[in-house]
Structure 1
Amino acid sequence: MFVGHYAASLAAKAIEPRAPLWSYVIAAQAIDIGWAGLLMAGVEKARIDPSLPGSTLDLYHMPFTHSLPAVVLWSLAGLLLARAARLPLDAAIAIALVVFSHWLGDLLVHRPDLQIWLGGTKVGFGLWNYPVPEQAVEIGLLGLGAAAWAFVRGRQGRSLWPVLVFMTILLAVQIIAMVMPGDGAGDAAGVGGAALAVYLVLGLIAFALDRPRRLT
């Protein structure tokens, strides 16, 4: 899952707007940001298998980012960082929930590569094996999140252009990822590095679209 993860960011921004959008956007991909760094460092492992349908990534060793215990710790870390940044408790909890939502999204699409406990059973519903329905689910989730954010902004009498711009960018990135050569065009570490760059750029775009305002 890629852009589908950002549905949680937009929904969280609608429910708890006191946290900046960029914090939710980074939180949605915090697990994969950590994964990309650890993959490039050789700590976590993946390989390219062009025979796989959908994503050709075989994510066979990622206990420090995508196991259930690790995700709980990452979520708690997100909460603590948000509180250290003096965000309200409700906003910090929302950030932690967005971090955790990444694992739930991955559970839906990944093949069984998510450990329930360290060294234990791996789970994953495998929607990646059905690329067209998987893409539909991602876009559908993103649309729901965007609709929630747009609804709240509309009720507040605020412009909808940030919603439209961010949705357009996310959809463009998703389409580019679909039409470009598959993951098999490079090594797994290279895929991780490219993904890391995209996650950080999207965080910067979210910052530009939703400049922090003084809380009242």
Structure 2
Amino acid sequence: MFVGHYAAALAARAVEPRAPLWSYVLGCQAIDIAWSGLILAGVEKASVDPSLPGSSLVLSYMPYTHGLPTAVLWSIAVGAGLMLLLKLPRRVGVVLGLVVFSHWLLDFLVHRPDLPLLWNGPMLGLGLWNYPLPEQVLEMGLLALAGAAWGWRRGLEGRGWKAALGFLTFLLFLQVVPMLSPLSEGRLSLGGSPLVAYLVTCIAAWMAEPTVAQGRAGGLSPRA
């Protein structure tokens, strides 16, 4: 699961528009941003097995980011942190926290059993990665549905369609690139490359929606 995670961000922006898009985009990949940093630091462990169907990632040790208890803690911390940083209502902070936790839930669908239920196990994962076509259909389907909901919300706010189309095209580009250039071993490849992609996507989200529209009631609907 990669761009499928961003479906949660787009859906949340449609349901609760008081937080900026970039904050939802940051939230949906916050767990993997932390994972990338810990891979670079050598704290969590991963490797590559090109013989595996779908994703070639072998995620052998990641209790600090992808364990169920730590995923809950990340969700609370990031949701509360963004709420305080952006001075958002408590309900918005809850939605941001749920977007962070959606990462673990979506990973549970696609990962092979490598998600710790507790610290060192048992390991969970339904293994949809082993079936590349259905997994891709799931990701693209989630993104399409969430993108339509986001587009509807943008229409209510009086925003244009070009920025939205550009952002969705960028997400599709991110999905295609790993298929054309498979992962290689090494901390920089496994941790650094995804980290750059996640942060650039946050910037792209800010460019797509640099402000939060006040909606019809606010009397001001900036276009993006």
Q: TM-score range by the shorter chain?
A: over 0.9
SS in 2 for 1:58: strand
Offset from partner CA, 1:110-147 (integer Å, 9 cap, x none)? 00000111122111010111111111111111111101
Q: Which amino acid aligns with 1:147?
A: A
Q: Which amino acid aligns with 1:96?
A: G
State yes or no: 1:208 paired with 2:207. Answer: yes
Correspondence for 1:164? 165
TM-score w.r.t. length of structure 1: 0.94
Correspondence for 2:70? 70
Q: How many Å separate the matches in 1 of 2:149 and 2:83?
A: 25
Correspondence for 1:130? 131
TM-score w.r.t. length of structure 2: 0.91
Q: How many Å separate the matches in 2 of 1:191 and 1:119?
A: 22
Q: Which amino acid aligns with 1:58?
A: V
SS in 2 for 1:3: coil
Q: How many Å separate the matches in 2 of 1:17 and 1:212?
A: 11
Q: How many Å separate the matches in 1 of 2:23 and 2:7?
A: 14
State yes or no: 1:192 paired with 2:191. Answer: yes
Q: How many Å separate the matches in 2 of 1:197 and 1:134?
A: 24
Correspondence for 1:25? 25
Instruction: Provide the aligned length of Structure 1 versus Structure 2.
Output: 214
Q: How many Å separate the matches in 1 of 2:111 and 2:147?
A: 24
Percent of pairs with identical residues: 52
Correspondence for 1:92? 93
Q: 8 Å contact 1:3–1:138 — kept in the other structure?
A: yes
Give the Å deviation of 1:79.
2.0
Q: 8 Å contact 1:112–1:124 — kept in the other structure?
A: yes
Q: How many Å separate the matches in 1 of 2:26 and 2:150?
A: 17
Q: Which amino acid aligns with 2:54?
A: G
Q: CA RMSD in A?
A: 1.4
- Is there any run of 5+ residues in structure 2 with no aligned partner, and where? 219-224
Q: 8 Å contact 1:57–1:188 — kept in the other structure?
A: no
- Is there any run of 5+ residues in structure 1 with no aligned partner, and where? none
Q: How many Å separate the matches in 1 of 2:121 and 2:155?
A: 47
